[in-house]
């Protein structure tokens, strides 16, 4: 099985983003980073139709967020410049624009000018509550003000508990460790082998290494772990698994399909390819955890680092009660906080009820920061 029965939801609101984790018996099943400035899966926009996509039955659609999205549809195509309601299936990833679908039930005032958001994306906590509410015994959030939003979202009967911003509920309950674990391509097996997960633009390739263990044991351990990792990392699209030759390999596709059965995202295990790899697909419902957090080198992106530094700096200031705060950071993080993350910086200032002076330090590594009083 790719996870037990969900019993806890953790939510951490910090400047510029809301992070949430679905947990069963202490094991993190799913992790979501929802950033205020990013386009979210499920959001509905009134878009403006653009040109045809060359060689594909699709059109570009301007939704007012970066590069145009792509709407696949059968002809006849709407005229260029026409307004069309669309929903985001997958946000922009790598060099690809958003994947869109028609939203025929959307309504909007005649005075609305495209592009414009018509409806925000469903909150992942709302989705989890609707799906697992009967078994959820605790919804633990921070800061204290987040509890009010969740009561409005879920109702007064939801088992909501709140912690102050000075605490770190993600670290205290193992979610931070799960995030770090889930952006690492190497996953250890109990018997001593490993699974290596590598994602390209076209396919995710997963390799199983037995190490000193029996190949059959390693394969079976890997199948169970792969099912969990696909869900927790939200890996989707075309996936191939290079299993170790040996006894019992014929049963592995069936075992994988059984392990993935509790994953709410639709998947299909096709079986073995002619070259002996297990082939499967998992529906794409948003960005993977790595796409959300990492840059093309596999390191935390500048946006991820900027939000992480703000989160930790606010906690430090609240805990130590510093005044006239100076935040020393690397130059590229400084540029991000003054640019695309400026609204997150403004939120951090509101949280500490004081100004935050940014001080770029050329000698600082990207992830380094220091908080002090002026």
In tens, the pLDDT along 160-188 reads 999 999 999 999 999 999 999 999 999 99
With cut-offs at 50, 70 and 90, classify the pLDDT of residue 97. Answer: confident
pLDDT in tens, 25-57: 999 999 999 999 899 999 999 999 999 999 999
pLDDT of residue 171: 96
pLDDT of residue 211: 84
Measured over the CA atoms of residue 171, residue 176, residue 178 and residue 181, the dihedral's sign is: negative
pLDDT of residue 3: 61
pLDDT of residue 351: 92
The domain ranges of the chain are: 8-35+122-179, 44-119, 183-282, 298-373
Mean pLDDT confidence for 276-295: 94
Name the token pair of 374.
């002026």
With cut-offs at 50, 70 and 90, classify the pLDDT of residue 65. Answer: confident
Residue 263's nearest CA partner among 245, 285, 242, 243 is 285
Q: Which numeric CATH code is attached to 298-373?
A: 3.40.1260.20
Point out which residues pair with 19 in neighbouring strands.
Answer: 12, 33
Mean pLDDT confidence for 303-323: 94
pLDDT-wise least confident of 24-28, 268-272, 283-287, 325-329 = 283-287
Q: Which CATH number fits domain 183-282: 3.40.630, 1.10.287, 3.30.2010, 2.60.40?
A: 3.40.630
- Hey, which bits of 91-144 come out as E strands? 99-102, 116-119, 138-142
Q: How far apart are CA 61 and CA 100, in angstroms?
A: 8
pLDDT of residue 1: 43
Residue 278 predicted with pLDDT over 70: yes
Name the token pair of 322.
């510093």
Furthest-apart CA atoms within the chain: distance in Å: 68
Residue 96 predicted with pLDDT over 90: no
pLDDT in tens, 336-358: 999 999 999 999 999 999 999 99
pLDDT-wise least confident of 114-118, 121-125, 211-215, 330-334 = 211-215
Residue 94 predicted with pLDDT over 90: no
With cut-offs at 50, 70 and 90, classify the pLDDT of residue 107. Answer: very high
pLDDT of residue 137: 97
Name the DSSP letter for residue 60.
Answer: E
Q: How far is CA 195 from CA 133, 188, 258, 264, 281, in A?
A: 33, 6, 19, 23, 18
Q: Which numeric CATH code is attached to 8-35+122-179?
A: 3.30.420.40
Whether the CB-CB separation of 240 and 277 falls below 8 Å is answered with: yes
Domain spanning 44-119: which CATH class is it, in words?
Answer: mainly beta
Residue 154 predicted with pLDDT over 70: yes
Q: How many helices (H) and strands (E) does the chain have?
A: 10, 20
Rg (CA), the chain: 23
φ, ψ for residue 232, nearest 5 deg: -65, -40
Residue 59 predicted with pLDDT over 90: yes
Element of type H or E holding 220: helix 215-233
Q: How far apart are CA 312 and CA 208, in angstroms?
A: 37
What 3 state SS string does 314-346 have?
Answer: HHHHHHHCCCCEEEEECHHHHHHHHCCCHHHHH
At 228, is the secondary structure helix, strand, or coil? helix
At 3, is the secondary structure helix, strand, or coil? coil
The overall average pLDDT reported for the chain is 94
Name the DSSP letter for residue 121.
Answer: P
With cut-offs at 50, 70 and 90, classify the pLDDT of residue 212. Answer: confident
Residue 312's nearest CA partner among 294, 295, 333, 291 is 333
Q: How far apart are CA 184 and CA 208, in angstroms?
A: 15
pLDDT of residue 62: 96
Residue 168's nearest CA partner among 315, 325, 343, 27 is 315
- Comparing 44-119 with 298-373, is the CATH topology the same? no
Residue 166: is the preceding peptide bond cis (ω within 30°)?
no
pLDDT in tens, 253-274: 999 999 999 999 999 999 999 9
Residue 304 predicted with pLDDT over 70: yes
């Amino acid at each position: 099985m790719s996870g037990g029965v969900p019993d806890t939801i953790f939510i951490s609101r910090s400047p510029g983003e809301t992070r949430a984790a679905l947990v069963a018996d202490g094991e993190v099943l799913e992790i979501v980073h929802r950033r205020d400035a990013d386009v979210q899966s499920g959001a509905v926009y009134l878009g403006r139709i653009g040109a045809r996509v060359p060689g594909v039955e699709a059109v570009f659609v301007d939704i007012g967020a970066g590069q145009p999205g792509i709407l696949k549809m059968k002809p006849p195509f709407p005229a260029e410049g026409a307004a069309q309601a669309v929903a985001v299936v997958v946000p922009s990833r790598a060099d690809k624009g958003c994947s869109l679908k028609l939203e025929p039930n959307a309504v909007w005032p005649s005075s609305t000018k495209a592009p414009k958001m018509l409806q925000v994306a469903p909150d992942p906590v709302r989705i989890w509550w609707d799906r697992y509410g009967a078994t959820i015994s605790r919804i633990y959030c921070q800061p204290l003000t987040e509890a009010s939003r969740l009561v409005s979202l879920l109702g007064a009967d939801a088992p909501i508990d709140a912690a102050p911003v000075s605490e770190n509920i993600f670290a205290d309950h193992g979610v931070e460790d799960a995030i770090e674990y889930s952006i690492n391509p190497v996953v250890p097996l109990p018997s001593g082998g490993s699974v290596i997960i590598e994602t390209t633009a076209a396919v995710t390739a997963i390799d199983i290494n037995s190490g000193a263990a029996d190949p059959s044991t390693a394969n079976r351990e890997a199948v169970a772990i792969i099912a969990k990792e696909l869900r927790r990392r939200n890996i989707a699209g075309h996936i191939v698994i290079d299993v170790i030759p040996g006894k019992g390999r014929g049963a592995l596709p069936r075992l994988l399909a059984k392990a993935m059965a509790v994953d709410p995202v639709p998947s299909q295990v096709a079986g073995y390819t002619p070259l002996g790899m297990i082939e499967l697909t998992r529906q794409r419902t948003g960005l993977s955890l790595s796409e959300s957090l990492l840059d093309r080198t596999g390191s935390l992106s500048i946006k991820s680092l900027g939000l992480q530094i703000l989160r930790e700096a606010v906690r430090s200031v609240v805990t130590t009660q510093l005044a006239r705060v100076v935040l020393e950071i690397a130059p590229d993080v400084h540029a991000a906080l003054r640019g695309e993350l400026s609204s997150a910086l403004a939120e951090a200032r509101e949280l500490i009820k004081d100004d935050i002076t940014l001080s770029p330090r050329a000698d600082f590594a990207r992830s380094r920061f220091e908080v002090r009083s002026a």
